[in-house]
Amino acid sequence: MKSPSPPDEFSIRGALQAGVAHHNAGRFTEARAVYREILDAAPDRPEALALLADILQREGADDEAIALLERAVRVAPSAAQLHRTLAGALHRRGRIDEAIAACRRAIALQPAQAAAHTDLGIVLCELGRWDEALLAFRAAVEIADLPAHRANFARVLLPAQRVPADARFGELVARALCEAWARPGDLARTAVTILLADAQLRACIDAACGAPASAASIDDAHALAALSEHRLLLALLENAQVCEARLEAFLTHARRRLMSAALAGRFAPPVLAFACALARQCFLNDYVFAQTPEEQAGASTLARRIEASLRDTGNAGAGELAVLGAYTPLATLDGAERLLEREWPECVRALLVRQIAEPRVEREDRARVPVLTPIRDCVSQGVRRQYEENPYPRWIALPACERVSFEAYLRAVLPGAPIDFSSLRSPLELLVAGCGTGQESSDLARRLADTSVLAVDLSLTSLCYARRMARSLGIANVEYAQADLLELPSLGRSFDVISSVGVLHHLADPLAGWRALAACLRPGGFMQVGLYSDLARRELAAARSFIAERGFASTPEAIRDARAALRADPRFQRVTGLRDFYGMNECRDLLFHVQEHRLTLPRIGEMAASLGLELLGFVVDPATRRRCAQRAGGGEPDFAAWDAFEREFPDTFAGMYLFWVRKPARA
C-alpha cells in the first residue's frame, strides 16, 4: 500500500487562512482544530506552531505554548518575529533571562525593528537593569520616533545610573524636556549629568566653583554667549529645576555677572537667550539661589530704572528685564502689564508670559474658586498659610498619554495583584484630597476615561495654579475647589476612587484624616494613599532638628541661609542632593513644614485594618516588587512583608509609601 503523500503547499496555505479567519473572529476552538490538522500533516510548520501557541497562552497553558514556540524557532531560526513571540511568552512566564536572550536574537536578525528593541527594554526593566533598558529604548526612538517609544525612553532616564554623553543623546534629552516625554522634573538629573560632562560648560562651572581659571571662564562674555546656543542647557533651565550644587553655583555666579553688566549698561545681546532661560529657572525655583546684599540692591536699582522707562516711554530694555526677572518676578513691577503690549524676541516673550501673564490669570481666578467647606482645624489653618505663601510644586507640563479605563490603569500600576472591579460604576467619580497645584489631579483626569474628578485643597494659591494649568491642557473633566479633607464627610458625597498622596501626614492626626476619607469612599471603592516613611526619612529628620536648633525661620532669606549651612555639614550630603532641596517652595515643604508625621508600615497596617480597608499593593518599580515577592514567598506582599523588606533596604521608600487599598463591597 502506498503511504499518503505529504500535503502540498497550496492546501496548507488554504488551511492556514481558514484557521486565521477563525482566530481573528475569536472562534478559538475552530482555529485550534485547524492548526492541529495542519501540524498532524506538517509537524514543523512554524506559522501553525506560533498560532496554536497564541491560543494556548490565552487559555493559560503557557508552558505548552513555549514548547511549541521553541519548536518553531528551531525550524525557522532566521524568523525574527518568532523569536520576539517566544520572548514575550517567556517574559509572561517569568523566565526573564531566557526572554532577554530571545529578544537579543530577534534584534540580531532585524536590527532596524524598533519593536524588538522595545521588547528588550521592557524585559530589562523587570530586572532593574535600567542602563541597558535605556540603550534599548534609545535605539527604538532612533529607529522610529513615535510617542510610545519616546515615553519608554523617558521613563528609564530617572533610574538609569550611566547615560551616554554623546551629542545625539543630549539632543534626545533636550527634546524630552521641551516636549514633555515625561514629567520634566523627572528628566532633570539626566540632563545635569550630561551637562557636567560637557567640556565647554564644565570649564565655566569649574571657574564659578573656584577652580583655576580656564579659557572659558564664566567672566568671559564669549563663553556666556555660547551658552545661549546650548540647547540642552536652555531646555533644562526653562522646564525643570536644576538639582546639582555645582551647576547651581555656576548659575548663581552667572546671574551676578549679568547683573553687573546690566547695571553698567554693558549687557551683550548675544547673551539674551541664556539670560531669559536663567530668569525662567529662577522663577521656577522661586528664587532659591543665594543673593548678596549688593545683588539685592542692584535688583532694586534695575527695577526703579525699568519702571521709570515704562512711565516715560512705555518701553524697557530686554536685557535689563531678563536680569531683573532672575531676581524677582517681573509682575511686581509698576506698569508690568504694559510690557505685554509690545513685540519682543521670542525668548523675552516667553519670559513675560511666565512671569506676568500667567500669574495675572491666577490672581483673577481667586474669586472664582468654589469653597466647599470651612477650614476650622488649627493645624489645617497653618498648613494652608504655608501653601498660600509657597505653593508646591510649580510644574510646567505633563507627558502625553492615552485614555484608559480605571481597571486598565490600576492593573498596570499593580501588575499581578488579584483585584475585584465588579463593584465599580461607570462613569467613575474620583476625589483627589489635597491636590496642591494640580499635577496629579490633572494627570489622572487626562488618563482615566469615563471619570469625573473633584480635586480639593486648602490653598487658594495652589488651586488657582491648578485651574490655570488644567485649562491650558484642555482638561474639562476636573473640578477644583477649596476644602479641608477633615470636613469632607459633611458634604454627603461619596466617591468610587480617592487619591490622597503626601497629605495625611501633614494633619494633626493622620488617622482622623484617613477616617474622613474612608467615610467618603463607596463600598467596593479604591483609595491611593501616600505617607512618609520614618525609616526612609531618618536623615531628613536629623536635618529638621539641625534647622530647629539653629533657629532658621521659614522665610526666603532664612531658607537660603539654612541651605548653605546644610551644605557645609558633611552629615547632610544626601539631604542636599535631593531634588526638592533645589526649589524654595519644595525646600520649605521638605525641611520646614509646619506639621509632619513619619510612620512605620506596621502602624499603617493597623490604621488600614481599623478602617476596614484591604491592601491591594504598593506602587514600586517591577524589580523592587519582584525582590520583595521572592522574599515573601510569592504573591502580592502584605504590610508585614514590605516592612521586612524595608528594614533590609531602608531607602526603598525614600519618596514615601505609596499604596492602594480597597473598601470591601457590602455583602
Q: Does residue 147 register a pLDDT over 90?
A: yes
Q: How far apart are CA 479 and CA 461, in angstroms?
A: 15
Kindly indicate the confidence band of residue 154, based on its pLDDT and cuts at 50, 70 and 90. Answer: very high
pLDDT at 126: 87
- pLDDT value at position 6? 55
Could you say which of 301, 332, 364 is where a domain stops?
364
> Is residue 5 one of the residues assigned to a domain?
no
pLDDT digit string (tens) for 623-636?
899 899 999 888 88
The pLDDT value given to residue 221: 65
Amino acid at 535: L
CB 84 within 8 A of CB 107: no
* Residue 9 pLDDT exceeds 90: no
Is residue 180 predicted with pLDDT exceeding 50? yes
Q: What is the pLDDT of residues 508-530, one digit of tens each?
A: 999 999 999 999 999 999 999 99
Distance CA 35, CA 262 (A): 79
Q: Are residues 408 and 302 in the same domain?
A: no
Q: Which residue has the higher pLDDT, 210 or 103?
A: 103
CB 657 within 8 A of CB 407: no
Average pLDDT over residues 92-108: 94
pLDDT at site 7: 62
Could you tell me the pLDDT band of residue 214, with boundaries at 50, 70 and 90?
A: very low
Residue 190 lies in a domain: no
Q: What is the model's pLDDT at position 53?
A: 86
Q: Kindly give the pairing relationship between strand 478-482 and strand 614-618.
A: unpaired
* pLDDT averaged over every residue in the chain: 93
Number of structural domains the chain divides into = 3
Domain boundary among 296, 330, 364: 364
Per DSSP, the three-state class of 621 is coil
Is residue 70 included in any domain, yes or no? no
Question: DSSP alpha helices (H): ranges in 110-230?
Answer: 114-126, 130-143, 147-155, 167-179, 184-196, 199-208, 221-227
Bridge partners of 617, per DSSP, are 660
Q: Does some domain include residue 187?
A: no
- Give yes or no for a contact between 611 and 603, defined as CB atoms under 8 angstroms apart: no
pLDDT of residue 280 exceeding 50, the answer is yes
For 148, residues 6+ apart whose C-beta sits below 8 A from its C-beta are: 118
- The predicted-structure confidence for 111-143, as pLDDT tens digits, reads as follows 999 999 999 999 999 888 999 999 999 999 999
Judgement on whether residues 477 and 602 belong to the same structural domain of the protein: yes
Q: Which domain, by its residues, includes 434?
A: 378-535+598-662
Give percent above pLDDT 90 in the chain: 79
Under a CB-based contact definition with an 8 Å cutoff, are residues 254 and 217 in contact? no
The yes-or-no verdict on residue 212 having pLDDT over 60 is no
In this structure, what C-alpha cell is assigned to residue 382? 497653618
Element (H, E) at 431: strand 428-433
3-state SS of 574-618? CHHHCHHHHCHHHHHHHHCCCCCCCECHHHHHHHHHHCCCEEEEE
Q: Is the peptide bond before 393 cis (omega within 30 degrees of 0)?
A: yes
The string of pLDDT tens digits covering residues 399-414 is 999 999 999 999 999 9
349, 384: one domain: no
Residues 479 and 572 in one domain: no
Does the structure show a pLDDT above 70 at 417? yes
Checking if the pLDDT of 106 tops 70, the result is yes
- The answer to whether position 291 is within a domain reads yes
Name the percent of the chain lying above pLDDT 70: 97
pLDDT 10s digits, 48-88: 888 888 888 888 888 998 999 999 899 999 999 999 999 99
In the prediction, which pLDDT does 219 show?
A: 59
Residue 1: the pLDDT is: 43
Helix-helix angle 130-143:114-126, to 10 degrees: 160
| Res 151 pLDDT > 80 | yes
d(CA 660, CA 40): 49
Indicate which CATH number applies to the domain containing 510.
3.40.50.150
Whether residue 35 contacts residue 26, with contact meaning beta carbons closer than 8 Å, is answered with: no
For residues 359 and 230, state if they share a domain.
yes
- Whether 193 is covered by a domain: the verdict is no
State yes or no: pLDDT of 218 exceeds 70. Answer: no
Q: In what order do the strands lie in the sheet with 478-482?
A: 478-482, 451-457, 428-433, 495-501, 521-531, 657-662, 614-618
Residue 667, pLDDT > 50, answer no
Residue with cell 532664612: 558
Based on the domain organization, do 293 and 232 belong to the same domain?
Answer: yes
* Average pLDDT of the segment spanning 263-289: 96
Residue 144 lies in a domain: no
- Least-confidence region, from 34-48, 379-393, 469-483: 34-48
In the prediction, which pLDDT does 22 show? Answer: 85
Best CA proximity match to 409, nearest among 381, 374, 361, 444 = 444
Whether 215 shows a pLDDT value over 50: the answer reads: no
DSSP 82-94: HHHHHHHHHHHTT
**Cα distance between residue 293 and residue 303, in whole Å:** 15
Q: Is residue 93 part of a domain?
A: no
Across the strands, what pairs with 614? 662
Q: Name the band, by pLDDT with cuts 50, 70 and 90, for residue 220.
A: low
**What is the model's pLDDT at position 250?**
94
Amino acid, res. 191? A
The whole-number average pLDDT for the span 1-19 is 71
For strand 521-531 and strand 495-501, is the pairing parallel, antiparallel, or unpaired? parallel
Domain limit, last residue, from 305, 332, 364:
364
pLDDT digits (tens, 9 = 90+) for 538-581: 999 999 999 999 999 999 999 999 999 999 999 999 999 999 99
